[in-house]
């Protein structure tokens, strides 16, 4: 080996001294392992957090449809791959979102704890109760008859009598609460008696041949009685959202394919969807981070920014599909309507059912 040659520490191939990168494998020739290098390599390997991300970030935010067009033109190494972009920003978004979710769970558990120690859940709310009381008192204010003769009382005494009769009737004829069959006190007594979870479910009314969905439902009821079910439901629901997004994004691309069936294969629309969803996660992630760690943004501005994403969607479709502005506006509106008012509610209904019965 010549004196001015070194061996690569990775592939062990010789190269001339002075090279910053190995000509054979591309590894740096002299890179000391520091904490910064360690974490940069980790992020770079898993999320491709390098110059391509920085080149992709600002066009993603301020040039709707630009990255998708460039990717289809063959510029696939200059910018971050659409799937990698989506993966990276979604991980960051859900990390920031977890702080808000934890707050929701904490508040939900406090509410659940109060309900679990009460006698039951109200059948009618306060507004309905007041309406019933008003109707009852109006009827009682008619001349009270005993044996065909009116009861002549001063006005204040008549009102007291009406209130007394109304309260008595309300307590005895209108059920003020509905007993779900179990609360925290009852549940603790059942456990103290040595009953296991399945026996408690049967005590609540579960049949012996119940399937796993029914058992999951009763398990959720027991969690509610324990005072922590609300938080568990929220956590199950949120945990399922990232998985659901991997189905929602292809469905969104399919909707675009239906509207633009002549504009290339399905993969073209999938590229556009990856970048658009990356934009959504980026915007809402920034809002979460600013509201959480910097300054609380007024609700009106948050709502305005949220609605502005539709304008971005419209401009992105104009730039990507290159069709008439009027028909693009109609198609973007219908596509958003179908996705937001049909696909998303249906998905959230499934996630809610999953959260309710998943054991």
DSSP string, 155-188: HHHHHHHHHHHHHHHHHHHS---B--S--HHHHH
Split into its structural domains, the chain has a count of: 3
Both 19 and 82 in one domain: the answer is no
Both 245 and 324 in one domain: the answer is yes
Question: Of 134, 151, 176, which residue constitutes the final position of a domain?
Answer: 176
Both 248 and 327 in one domain: the answer is yes
The owner of tokens 């590229």 is 271
Both 233 and 349 in one domain: the answer is yes
Q: Is residue 222 part of a domain?
A: no
Q: CB-side exposure of 52: number of CA atoms within 13 Å? A: 18
Strand partners, 121: 178
Both 243 and 308 in one domain: the answer is yes
Among candidates 27, 197, 191, 34, which has minimal Cα distance to 206? 197
Check: CB of residue 355 under 8 Å from CB of residue 240.
Answer: yes
Q: Is residue 35 part of a domain?
A: yes
Structure tokens that stand for 83 in this block: 């799937």
Q: Which residues contact 51 (CB under 8 A, 6 or more apart)?
A: none
Residuewise pLDDT in 10s, the chain (359 residues): 445 777 887 787 887 777 778 888 777 777 666 666 656 666 665 555 567 788 899 999 999 999 999 999 988 888 888 998 999 899 999 999 999 888 888 888 887 777 766 654 443 444 545 554 565 555 555 554 444 444 555 556 556 655 665 555 444 443 333 334 566 777 777 778 888 888 887 777 778 788 777 777 778 777 777 777 788 888 888 888 888 888 899 999 999 999 999 888 999 999 999 999 999 999 999 999 999 999 999 999 999 999 999 999 999 999 999 999 999 999 999 999 999 888 888 888 887 777 766 64
Q: Which residues contact 324 (CB under 8 A, 6 or more apart)?
A: none
Q: Is residue 203 part of a domain?
A: no
The torsion defined by the Cα of 266, 269, 273 and 275, in degrees rounded to 10, comes to 120
User: φ, ψ for residue 353 (rounded to 5)?
Assistant: -65, -40
Among candidates 145, 142, 132, which has minimal Cα distance to 175? 132
Both 167 and 261 in one domain: the answer is no
* Structural domain range at position 25: 5-47
Distance (Å, rounded) from C-alpha 213 to C-alpha 354?
Answer: 9
Q: Is residue 207 part of a domain?
A: no
Cα–Cα distances in angstroms (integers) from residue 273 to residues 49, 296, 315, 333, in the given order:
21, 30, 14, 16
Q: What per-residue confidence (pLDDT) applies to 259? A: 93
Check: CB of residue 237 under 8 Å from CB of residue 355.
Answer: yes
Q: Is residue 190 part of a domain?
A: no
Q: What per-residue confidence (pLDDT) applies to 213? A: 73
User: φ, ψ for residue 204 (rounded to 5)?
Assistant: -80, -10
Distance (Å, rounded) from C-alpha 277 to C-alpha 279?
Answer: 5
Structure tokens that stand for 63 in this block: 């040039």
Structure tokens that stand for 85 in this block: 């972009």
Q: What per-residue confidence (pLDDT) applies to 155? A: 58
Both 326 and 237 in one domain: the answer is yes
Distance (Å, rounded) from C-alpha 307 to C-alpha 312?
Answer: 9
Q: What per-residue confidence (pLDDT) applies to 356? A: 67
Both 286 and 137 in one domain: the answer is no
Both 240 and 343 in one domain: the answer is yes
Handedness of CA 203, 205, 210, 215 (dihedral sign): negative
Both 238 and 148 in one domain: the answer is no
Q: What per-residue confidence (pLDDT) applies to 121? A: 44
Question: Of 155, 176, 197, which residue constitutes the final position of a domain?
Answer: 176
Cite the DSSP H helix spans in the chain.
35-47, 51-62, 66-72, 82-116, 126-140, 155-173, 184-192, 197-203, 212-226, 229-259, 266-289, 299-321, 325-338, 344-357
Both 156 and 64 in one domain: the answer is no
Q: Is residue 331 part of a domain?
A: yes
Check: CB of residue 32 under 8 Å from CB of residue 64.
Answer: no
CA-based max dimension of the chain: 127
Check: CB of residue 234 under 8 Å from CB of residue 341.
Answer: no
- What's the start-to-end Cα distance of the chain, in Å? 66
Q: Is residue 101 part of a domain?
A: yes
Q: Is residue 219 part of a domain?
A: no
Both 240 and 351 in one domain: the answer is yes
């Amino acid at each position: 080996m010549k004196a001015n040659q070194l061996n690569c520490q990775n592939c062990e191939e010789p190269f001339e001294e002075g090279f910053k990168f190995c000509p054979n494998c591309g590894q740096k020739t002299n890179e000391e392992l520091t904490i910064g290098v360690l974490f940069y390599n980790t992020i770079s390997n898993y999320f491709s957090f390098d110059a391509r991300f920085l080149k992709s970030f600002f066009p993603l935010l301020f040039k709707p449809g630009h990255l998708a067009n460039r990717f289809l033109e063959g510029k696939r190494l200059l910018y971050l791959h659409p799937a990698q972009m989506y993966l990276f920003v979604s991980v960051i978004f859900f990390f920031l979102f977890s702080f808000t979710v934890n707050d929701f769970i904490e508040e939900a558990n406090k509410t659940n704890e109060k309900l679990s120690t009460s006698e039951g859940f109200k059948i009618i709310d306060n507004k309905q109760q007041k309406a019933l009381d008003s109707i009852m008192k109006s009827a009682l204010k008619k001349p009270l008859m005993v044996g065909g003769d009116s009861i002549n009382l001063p006005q204040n005494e008549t009102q007291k009598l009406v209130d007394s009769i109304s309260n008595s009737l309300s307590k005895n004829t209108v059920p003020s609460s509905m007993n779900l069959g179990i609360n925290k006190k009852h549940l603790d007594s059942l456990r103290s008696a040595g009953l296991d979870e399945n026996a408690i479910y049967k005590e609540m009314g579960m049949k012996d041949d119940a399937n796993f969905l029914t058992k999951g439902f009763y398990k959720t009821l027991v969690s509610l009685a324990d005072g922590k079910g609300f938080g568990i439901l929220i956590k199950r629901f949120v945990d399922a959202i990232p998985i659901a997004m991997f189905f929602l994004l292809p469905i969104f691309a399919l909707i675009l394919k239906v509207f633009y069936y002549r504009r290339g294969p399905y993969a073209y629309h999938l590229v556009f969807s990856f970048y658009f969803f990356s934009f959504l996660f980026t915007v809402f992630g920034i809002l979460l981070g600013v509201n959480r760690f910097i300054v609380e943004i007024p609700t009106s501005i948050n709502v305005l920014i949220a609605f502005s994403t539709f304008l971005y969607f419209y401009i992105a479709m104009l730039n990507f599909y290159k069709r008439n502005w009027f028909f693009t506006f109609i198609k973007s509106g219908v596509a958003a309507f179908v996705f937001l008012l049909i696909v998303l509610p249906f998905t959230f209904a499934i996630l809610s059912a999953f959260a309710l019965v998943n054991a």
